Amino acid sequence: MSMNLLKKTELWVNHITLDDVNLTELADIVAGVLGLRKGEVMVVDVRPQHITFDVLVQEIPQENFLGKEKAILNALQSVQGVTLYEDTYIHSNGILGQICANLSDEQERELLNTVDTMTSEIKNNVLHRAIVFPTGFELQQGLIEDTNTPYIKRLLENEGFKVTIGEIMSDDLYDIKEKLEDALNRGFGLLITSGGVGAEDKDKTVEAIHSIDENAATPYIVKFKKGTGRHVKDGVRIGVGTEGLSTMISLPGPHDEVELAMPVLIKGLRENWDKMHLADCLAGVLANKWKTKNHHH
């Protein structure tokens, strides 16, 4: 379990005296005890009776620093020119303060287990919080009924998701990206948009996902010749992107296509498919519909 140090990264060693000591060597020794690489800890302040180290990484596995005060002091003691005293101690604000935790092995294991359990609970909660965004001016103006959102919500709730209905997104890249980023910050693990995947210039949901995850999977459902009719793009695509624990999915707007896509999406969520596989399977079932549709024309 990696702990974010939340910018409180300094360690003070109090009541220590130095005589002609190499500070880089000293910092590297502390880094070694904390399971970090050379250069990831530096000395930032030296006074007659104390020395301040700064940890330069943002996250450290908790087991690397929990209760490590004695190990750090022993390591420092082995350096030529360093003198420690009976009352030498380490002090840190914030999470690194756990370095000074005086725990038995048993207590340490228990604490790490508790943290692990909490972490997996938080992870599980995030993964089971979904938000569904309708898109498009037709819905904003109340011109058409939104049949997709209640349908997607019902299917996800059957799978044990807690589902929130997001605000309607306008046909605007900035608005869509902002609403997605806000939902990511609010800890939703599954973000679904319906609509806005077409080939017109107002269709921007796939682009919004791609602007957040540049490695998003965005396969085509159908390809056109660019610039024919209202098509400013060369086809219709869907998008599946990830950010941290969260997955963002852009589905098409037509309700029959959402009905085709959702069973595939549910299966992918159950079986934990990666974004490439999920996107390919969604695109596959939707592309099929276009083929048969064009075949009948």
Please report which confidence band the pLDDT of residue 5 belongs to, taking 50, 70 and 90 as the band edges. very low
CATH 3.30.70 domain residues, the chain? 8-102
At residue 297, the pLDDT reads 45
At residue 97, the pLDDT reads 61
Only one residue has tokens 């399977």, namely 281
Please state, in angstroms and rounded to a whole number, the distance separating the CA atoms of residues 289 and 293.
Answer: 6
Answer whether residue 279 shows pLDDT above 90. Answer: yes
Please state, in angstroms and rounded to a whole number, the distance separating the CA atoms of residues 289 and 35.
Answer: 54
pLDDT tens track for 193-203: 987 666 566 66
Q: Domain 124-296: which CATH class?
A: alpha beta
DSSP 8-state symbol, 135:
B
Give the architecture-level CATH label for domain 8-102. 2-Layer Sandwich (3.30)
Please state, in angstroms and rounded to a whole number, the distance separating the CA atoms of residues 197 and 1.
Answer: 38
pLDDT tens track for 223-260: 766 655 555 566 788 899 998 889 999 998 889 999 99
Mean pLDDT taken over the chain: 83
Higher-confidence position of 267 and 125: 267
Please state, in angstroms and rounded to a whole number, the distance separating the CA atoms of residues 213 and 114.
Answer: 32
Please state, in angstroms and rounded to a whole number, the distance separating the CA atoms of residues 97 and 76.
Answer: 18
What is the DSSP pairing of strand 220-223 with strand 190-194?
unpaired
At residue 141, the pLDDT reads 74
CATH 3.40.980.10 domain residues, the chain? 124-296
Q: Which amino acid is at 166?
A: G
pLDDT tens track for 100-150: 666 566 766 776 676 667 667 777 777 889 999 998 777 777 777 888 999
DSSP 8-state symbol, 281:
H
At residue 123, the pLDDT reads 75
At residue 89, the pLDDT reads 86
Higher-confidence position of 28 and 110: 28
Tokens of 150: 């209640």
Please state, in angstroms and rounded to a whole number, the distance separating the CA atoms of residues 65 and 57.
Answer: 13
Q: Please give the model's pTM, rounded to 2 decimal places.
A: 0.61
Please report which confidence band the pLDDT of residue 65 belongs to, taking 50, 70 and 90 as the band edges. confident
> Which range among 20-24, 57-61, 263-267 shows the weakest confidence by mean pLDDT?
57-61
Please report which confidence band the pLDDT of residue 26 belongs to, taking 50, 70 and 90 as the band edges. very high
At residue 4, the pLDDT reads 47
